[in-house]
Structure 1
């Protein structure tokens, strides 16, 4: 079963429940690749950064060496997720190299001179996500804008899957052709997260080390907040990343910023909310104001809610820890006339106990992109 809503980009946000897939990850990858093969092929063929920079670089001697090192390091540390990526490539008919190369954009940057500002903006499209984190007496929420390059507009979907042993499950907003997820997701253990890129300083990148997307895929398996923190802070990361980790059952939100060289810092959200857009600023906001902030377009040059021509806000996600909901907003979230396509569409992970607090999820579309439902 699945559903879809208009994603505001001329396509639909499809939801695919892969169920319980056996094997070492390959079966799940094949299922996702087959289900979203058209979207994956379309994304890869229209991705200017992949076509103009990454593929040409991969054909050079330094590029081949970097790709080989990246492959060996990540396959050794995360063999199941590597098999999952191979399965996605096989299922979609896309070359494995095309799926792997988006993982090394930051590493490649150390080897390749950018020819113009537009190329730099396109390459760093995933650096522009914004977050508002609040944990107080009246609210415990995380609101997040998922910003990306134009190539991803209409090329995202939601993957739901259950572990081979049936003990846990996850829901993840996923970029076409990539592992779940470099964006946001949650699992049946009450762990949820959103992600933000942290651009590395010169000399900070460790070539051929652990790629961010493998670490965030591993987050979907976290059994607790502490386990999630350990998963993001222990690997020998190639580049840094910012993780907003949530414990729905214990009403906690923790931001963990990592860097290469096994460095990390931790900050727990409290009654004084903070805003993340590659920096932190204290704010006094509630849920309504958080969505309004993430929908702001007042600054023509640097809007928080982006509508092109190069960078787009693909969606806004709101995680409400008290209500145990994750809501995806398609269209500007500050509009008060949001139309809900799915109300608490699925409970993840009672695991036989009604006392456990589980996360529900919703998809909303504003009047600028009315939702249309269908059954698959």
Structure 2
């Protein structure tokens, strides 16, 4: 295995602008970021010491094939996109797909997953007049540090694609090397802005839709009803658990922020468990990596302990009413063992690799490669939307639980 150089935290995030079919966009991503993808695959102990050995077993191959068959049925265009990335980077497809079932595969086989060690993100939504902010820490296994990039893609298809019959996608997403877009923080040209917090459910199933494919599908969501439909995934259901924090920039009426908790189907159900919480002006959302509403057993371990401590730290702050308040929360390191901005040494298992601030009033996205309390953003991107027209009918019934 190649030796991966320790280069410290870099204030550098490359970006690719690309247009084409799903395969062509994937190929451009793989070709452009080949060195980062190769470096990440070499650096990942979870891939090399857990996932690949499990994949070589008959039981592991069965989980892999059942899940790949399922996503190929619902989202063949995203499988082609991943195939393009593998071909462009000249890496085996199965290694990339394993990254997308990194919790499902060991869980189904009764093995410990990486998430038991506490990897996860923190999100704050501030909803005040003139200060409508979605802020997010992107926390990941330490080897993800410096192994991410922006993909700004315009995908046009001759024929409707996948179960949602999508013909056009235009989005910008922060991506882990070798992963599908949509799994961290992103926005699309319909004005849909969102961030992702992983959750570790106790019992996962083979052959269901990995959360990374549901979050990829969200990049095509045109309104809030469509986003809920994607997350519910009727006919199959989520294979693992996730929390989505989101808003639509063009929605009618007051600014609304939503948190969706998503879990695997319960019992004989064939759709995701789903709970929606909505905030109106003057309110806020805190969310980490545990369920606050869904009554689904969780795996426990460090991810739960870390989430409890981060939620406790957030509650020590006044209710956020400005961008500065959000930054102060996301940069907090008052809890030395479980800080919100996670970094205390080179050997940390989990690090905050980036922080994003979506400003819904100014329609900008600021990305920090280090603590936002003491650093300037690496880049401030404009949120480029399809049209200024309002999105009709996207306001949900608050606090819906399904």
**TM > 0.5:** yes
Structure-1 separation of matches of 2:338 and 2:380: 33
Q: Counterpart of 2:174 in 1: which secondary structure? A: strand
Alignment of 1:21-40 (within 5 A): 21-22=20-21, 25-40=22-37
Gaps of 5+ in 1: 1-6, 115-119, 359-376
Q: What corresponds to 1:4 in structure 2?
A: none
Change (3 A) 1:306 1:341: closer
Alignment of 1:113-152 (within 5 A): 113-114=111-112, 122-124=114-116, 127-152=119-144
Q: 1:316 aligns with which of 350, 355, 364?
A: 355
Task: Tell me by how many angstroms 1:231 deviates.
Answer: 1.0
Task: Tell me by how many angstroms 1:347 deviates.
Answer: 5.2
Q: What corresponds to 2:160 in structure 1?
A: none
Q: Counterpart of 1:327 in 2: which secondary structure? A: strand
Q: 1:259 aligns with which of 257, 263, 266?
A: 263
Alignment of 1:97-112 (within 5 A): 97-107=94-104, 108-112=106-110
User: After alignment, is 154-163 or 319-328 more displaced?
Assistant: 319-328
Task: Tell me by how many angstroms 1:206 deviates.
Answer: 1.6
Task: Tell me by how many angstroms 1:181 deviates.
Answer: 2.2
Task: Tell me by how many angstroms 1:160 deviates.
Answer: 0.4
Structure-1 separation of matches of 2:118 and 2:72: 24
Q: Counterpart of 1:256 in 2: which secondary structure? A: strand
Alignment of 1:179-190 (within 5 A): 179-190=180-191
Alignment of 1:1-376 (within 5 A): 9-10=9-10, 12-18=12-18, 20-22=19-21, 25-107=22-104, 108-114=106-112, 122-124=114-116, 127-164=119-156, 168-201=169-202, 204-235=203-234, 236-250=237-251, 251-261=255-265, 262-270=272-280, 271-279=282-290, 284-286=319-321, 287-307=323-343, 308=345, 309-335=348-374, 338=376, 340-344=377-381, 346=382, 348-350=384-386, 353=387, 355-356=388-389
Task: Tell me by how many angstroms 1:199 deviates.
Answer: 1.0
User: For the Cα contact (< 8 Å) 1:49–1:123, is it kept in 2?
Assistant: no
Task: Tell me by how many angstroms 1:349 deviates.
Answer: 3.4
Task: Tell me by how many angstroms 1:139 deviates.
Answer: 2.2
User: For the Cα contact (< 8 Å) 1:324–1:357, is it kept in 2?
Assistant: no
User: After alignment, is 186-195 or 220-229 more displaced?
Assistant: 220-229
Gaps of 5+ in 2: 1-6, 158-166, 266-271, 293-310, 392-402
Q: CA RMSD in A?
A: 2.3
TM-score (norm 2): 0.78
Structure-2 separation of matches of 1:322 and 1:146: 22
Q: Deviations over 1:266-312 (max 9, x none)?
A: 00123232311235666611221211111111222111111151111
